[in-house]
Amino acid sequence: MQDPFVFVVVFAIFVMSVVAHEVAHGWVALQCGDPTALKAGRLTLNPLPHIDPMMTVVLPLMLILAGAPFVFGGAKPVPINPFLLRNRRRDWMLVSAAGVAANLLIAVVLAVLLRGLLLSGIFVAKSLGTVALASGVGVNIFLALFNLLPIPPLDGSWIVGLLFPDTVGRLMSRLQPVGFILLILLIWLTPLLSYLDVLWGFIFRLLLGL
């Protein structure tokens, strides 16, 4: 990350990845009967309508520049009206899972691209291009895993709340106002990131064939 080229490429991949995450939510909602995101002009890969100054720019930049062991942030959430979904419980779960699926798909595409460039000899190991693309793979894996955590307002909280009995869903709803504080406490006071790192490493090595 100390090389300007790698920094710019990884930050650009990060921004487009969080944008794709939100567009995926809105696109799946549209397929399920809710055109709210479409009408709001949010089904576009143009990053400008999606940028949240703090979450999309300031927070990830601070983490990258500080050499943090993870990079996290997000775009402005796309508007979803669950009352317009055809099958509210099933479709809301699909909408929630769509962002995670988008990040995993981007990780797979970047990994396939990188492996192809290495096999063809266009890229070599430890070159700036290799490091940049590998970092992009890692960023998307982390975004997917982090968003799967069952803590509001992350996507995992909705998925768990919809998969399990209504009591779990009500608990997740009650945790919404304090979810971000709870998330910070779990990061700082528990080995949560260490567990995520083990799973992240397994998926990263699997995708890149290491």
Residue 179 amino acid letter: G
**Nearest alpha carbon to residue 143 among 112, 175, 99:** 99
Q: Is 16 a catalytic residue?
A: no
Residue 168 CB partners (closer than 8 Å, separation 6+)? 160, 161
Q: Which residues of 20-44 are buried (b: 16+ CB within 10 A; e: fewer)?
A: bbbbbbbbbbbebebebbeeeebbe
Catalytic residue among 9, 17, 22, 92: 22
Active site residue ranges: 22
